[in-house]
Amino acid sequence: MALSLVRTSNVDALLGPGGALQAALPAYEHRPEQLQMARAVERAFSDRSYLLAEAGTGTGKTLAYLVPALLSGRRVVVSTATKTLQEQIFFKDLPLLKEQMGLEFEAAYLKGRGNYLCLHRYNSFTKDPTFGTREEARQWPHIQSWAARTETGDRAELELPENFSAWPRLSSSAETCLGSQCPLYEQCHVTRMRREAEQADLLVVNHHLFVADLSLRGAGRRGEGVLPLYEAVILDEAHALEDAASGYFGCGVSNHRLEELARDAVAALPETDARFPTLRALAARVRTHAEVLFTQAPRVLGLLGSEGGVALKPDRMALLGGPLEQVRHGLAALGAFASSAREPELAALTRRAAELTEELSFLEKVESADHVYWAEARGRGVFLRASPIDVARELRVRLYDAVDTVVFTSATLAAGGRFDFFAKRMGLYDEDGAPVAEVRTLAVPSPFDYAQQSALYLPTHLPDPAAPGFIEAAAEEIVQLCEVSGGRAFVLFTSLRNMERAYELTKARLPYQVLRQGDRPKQQLLESFRELPSVLFAAHSFWEGVDVPGDALSLLIIDRLPFASPGDPLVAARIRQIEARGEGAFEQYQLPQATLALRQGFGRLIRTQSDRGAVALLDRRIVTKPYGRAFLESLPDAHRVRDLDGLRDWFSEG
């Protein structure tokens, strides 16, 4: 490791009044909140304990944890929920600490395998390059030129569409990677990335890669994880960790996954090999049976017309018993044929076929009490999934048993002023309610003056969100609100259906650039939003991790309180689990989860001390229902306005 910091340095000397940061940046103003958090993180590293640190927007929490992490002398993983923050840390914050403050360290920026060109799969693809559309085919010469010169293999260097369908055939996953058996292992971009990471003091990753590493280590697959061994973890945007972990600690089989196996089988041998005809026939058998299964599944499982996932039921899965058995027979035959071969590609087929068989059997039985089973359709994909209802035990076994220092931080960790909800969801208490490690908590307020910088508009004249006509009335309100703000608005929805309906009702009436999530990649939408007065209709991913400082975003409209849908299979399973313990699921799970989500949405508005804007929540329940008080008490102390005239006056005063 390359760390060579002066051990007598501490966070006060670097971040305190007159410290190194202030000396390096003359315009920098000391932030007491930042130093308070940095001291708490420093103590966690010193005591080898766990810290839950809620830090409001604008506290400078990134430097508050980076400095003590680098001073600790240990290899630390910093994991974030989004690649945007990951890039900010690596390309902005760490260079500041190294170049402006003189700290000496080595850092590595890591993404999942799927972000990198796999040289072995690329070579196979070049023999028969096929694409989903002519537009994708036109990208091929550009990809070839890039592949010949790239030093990193990171697809971010290319301006490919996010949904470029050929990319999975040019990259590898934990399932398809041949590991050290690959003939191009030494030249591999992922191998090089990992070796650079082994020399680093600080590893900057995202939650998906972090939990993928935990999952691989737990599964013991090929004896290693994605990341080199580390000694401490900082989880930024830690509120998003549970959802990321739920996906990786379970299993899933899709038509895409089986199709990829069949395609890789055909590519595993040259056509001149005497075994090729048999292997091709076995692959075709798997493909045919998979097509039958996943053609029938949407109708049998009730996916047709559903917006989200549907729970898998034993009786419904029994109706798919015949197609499932045929797929398993096809996988067994393919795996058996490949098992006697020496080629690493064929050995990988045997392993993959066995894993798919095991997962299909697990999914078909629908019998594990601590898992939730569901299916979903996305685009042309049909997915059968199983995830642990509660990731607490998984985190205790895979993370807490191995690492003695973990810092959880976010602008939203406390619900109702308490950290209990988050701590329990993260498994920091065992089944008897006893802490699994020494856990400290810290809540550092934002330095922003929300009473002066923000307004909160809560109309009560709109119908209840569950009543007929709500979205039509909300659309009318959206038009009037955007007239007040001159556009410059995010309109955030809790469902894609409401987003689409409101967009269709208002797009022709809004005299601004009107943007919609999904029409273009997220970063392109944000760039367009910043360039012209705009109204952006969005859901899900725009509720958090989006940063638009300045006047470009002056109004945030939220259609309804963000309660997770009780029809979502995972949410429903968590509710049943809590009620089975004799506890109230609404108070213990649904309400605190929703208040944290609303705070995340509110947090998109005020990003700097000069920002000014309003939040409009179109859900009357925040005023009319007793639980509305919990939402209001969770929000920053914004100036309250009662009607559009009041909001218009507030904007004119600014």
Top mean pLDDT of 79-88, 214-223, 600-609, 624-633 is at 624-633
Average pLDDT over residues 572-590: 93
Average pLDDT over residues 16-37: 85
Higher pLDDT, 305 or 524: 524
Average pLDDT over residues 233-260: 94
450-653 belongs to which homologous superfamily? P-loop containing nucleotide triphosphate hydrolases (3.40.50.300)
Lowest mean pLDDT, pick from 60-74, 221-235, 394-408, 513-527: 221-235
Tell me what the pLDDT averaged over the chain comes to: 91
Q: Which helix (H) or strand (E) holds 414?
A: none
Model pTM? 0.89
Phi then psi dihedrals of residue 51, to 5 deg: -135, 130
pLDDT at 306: 74
Contacts with 621 (C-beta within 8 Å, 6 or more apart), sequence order: 464, 465, 561, 627, 628
pLDDT at 247: 84
Tens digit of each residue's pLDDT (9 = 90 or more) over 473-494: 999 999 999 999 999 999 999 9
Q: Is the dihedral of CA 49, 54, 59, 61 positive or negative?
A: positive
**C-alpha span between 255 and 291 (Å, rounded):** 7
Class of domain 254-378: mainly alpha
Query: Going by DSSP bridges, is the β-strand pair 371-378/381-388 parallel, antiparallel, or unpaired?
Result: antiparallel
Given pLDDT bands bounded at 50, 70 and 90, which one contains residue 20? confident
Q: Can you tell me which residue has the tokens 């499982």?
A: 301
Coil, strand or helix at 574: helix
Q: Is the pLDDT assigned to residue 69 strictly greater than 50?
A: yes
SS3 breakdown of the chain: % helix, strand, coil, rounded to 5? 50, 15, 35
Q: Are 44 and 38 in contact (CB under 8 A)?
A: no
Q: Is the pLDDT assigned to residue 2 strictly greater than 80?
A: no
The β-bridge partners of 408 are 52, 235
Domain layout of the chain by residue ranges: 254-378, 450-653
Q: Which helix (H) or strand (E) holds 231?
A: none
Tens digit of each residue's pLDDT (9 = 90 or more) over 408-424: 999 999 998 899 999 99
Tens digit of each residue's pLDDT (9 = 90 or more) over 292-350: 999 999 999 999 877 678 999 999 999 999 999 999 999 999 999 999 888 999 999 99
Tens digit of each residue's pLDDT (9 = 90 or more) over 28-51: 778 899 999 999 999 999 999 999
Q: Is the pLDDT assigned to residue 162 strictly greater than 80?
A: no
